[in-house]
Structure 1
Amino acid sequence: MDANRWRLTRELFEAVVDLPRARWESRLAELCPDDAALREEVLGLLRADADATGGTAIAQHAPNVVAELAEHLSEDPTVHAGLALGPFRLVREIGRGGMGAVWLADRADGQFEQAVAIKLVRGGWDRAEDIARFRAERQILAGLSHPNIAHLVDGGMGEGGRPWLALEYVDGVDLGRWCDKHRLDLADRQRLFLTVCDAVQHAHQRLVVHRDLKPSNILVRADGVVKLLDFGIAKLIDADDAQVSATRVFTPEYAAPEQVRGETVTTSVDVYALGLLLYELLSGQRPYKVENSTPAAYERAILDQEPTRPSVAATRDGGGMSAANRHLTPARLRRELRGDLDAIVLKALRKQPTDRYASVADLAADVRRHLARQPVHARRGNFRYRATRFLQRHALAAALSAVAVLALVAGLGVALWQAQVARNERDTARQALAFMRTLFTNADPGQKQRGDLTARDLVDEGVRSVRRALAGQDAARADMLLAMGSAYLGLGLPDEAQPLLDEAGAIAQRLGDTLLVARILDETCSVLQYRNRADDCVPLVDRIEAMLDPSDPEHVETLVRAIDHRSTAHAPRNRHDAIVADSRRALALIPATADYDRLRADVTGTMAFSLVRLNRAAEAEAALRPLVDALRKAQNVEPRWLADVLDNFASTLTTKTDEALALNAEAVRLMESVYGADSPVIAGKVSNYGVALYKANRYTDALPVIERSIALNRAGGTPRATSLANALGNLGALHFQLGHDDASRAALNEAIELSEALQRPLDIGRALRWRANLSLAQARYADARADAQRATSVLAPLNKPESITVLRGRALNLAIDYAERGSAARTDAACAEAQGIAARFAALPEAGTPEARLATLLHALCGAAPAEAFKTAYAALPPDDFRQRQVRRIEAAWRTD
Structure 2
Amino acid sequence: MDAARWLQLSPHLDALLELPAPARARRLDEIALQDAALAAELARMLALEAGREDFLAQPLVVPRALREGSEVGPYRLEALLGEGGMGQVWRASRADGLYQRRVALKLLRPGLADRSLRMRFAREREILARLAHPHIAGLLDAGISAEGVPYLALEYVEGEPITRYWQRLDVPLPTRLRMFRQVCEAVTHAHANLVVHCDLKPSNILVTADGQVRLLDFGIAKLLDGAAPRDATRTGTRAFTLHYAAPEQIRGGPVTTMTDVYSLGVVLYELLTGLKPYRLKRQSDAEWEEAILAHDPVRPSQMLLRQSELKADRVQRQALRRRARRLMGDLDNIVLKTLCKAPEQRYPSVEALSQDLQRHLDGQPVRARPVGALYRLQKYVRRHRWAIATAGAALGVLAIAVGAVVWQSREAMEEAHRAQAMRGFIVGVFEQAGGTPGDRALDLRALLDGAVARGDRELARQPRAQAELLGVIAGLRMGLGDDAEAKRLLDRQSALMARLPSLPAGLRLDAAAQRGQVLRRLGDAQGCIDTMIPLAPLAAGERRHLPASVAEFQSQLGRCLRARGDVDGARRLFEQALALRRETRTPGAAVEEIESRLDLAALQADIGRTHEALVGYRDAQARLEAEAGPRHPLQVDIGRQMAAVLRRQGHPGRAEVHLVDTLAAAQDLHGAQHPVTLGIRRELADVLLDQSRFRDAAVPLRHRHAVLAARYGTLHPELFDSHLALSQVEWQIERLGAALGAARAVTAIARRSGDGARTVRGLLAQAQLLHEAGRSEEARPLLLEARALRSASAGAADPLVAEVDRALGEVDAALGQPGAIARLGRALHFLEAGYGPRDPRT
TM-score by length of 1: 0.41
TM-score by length of 2: 0.43
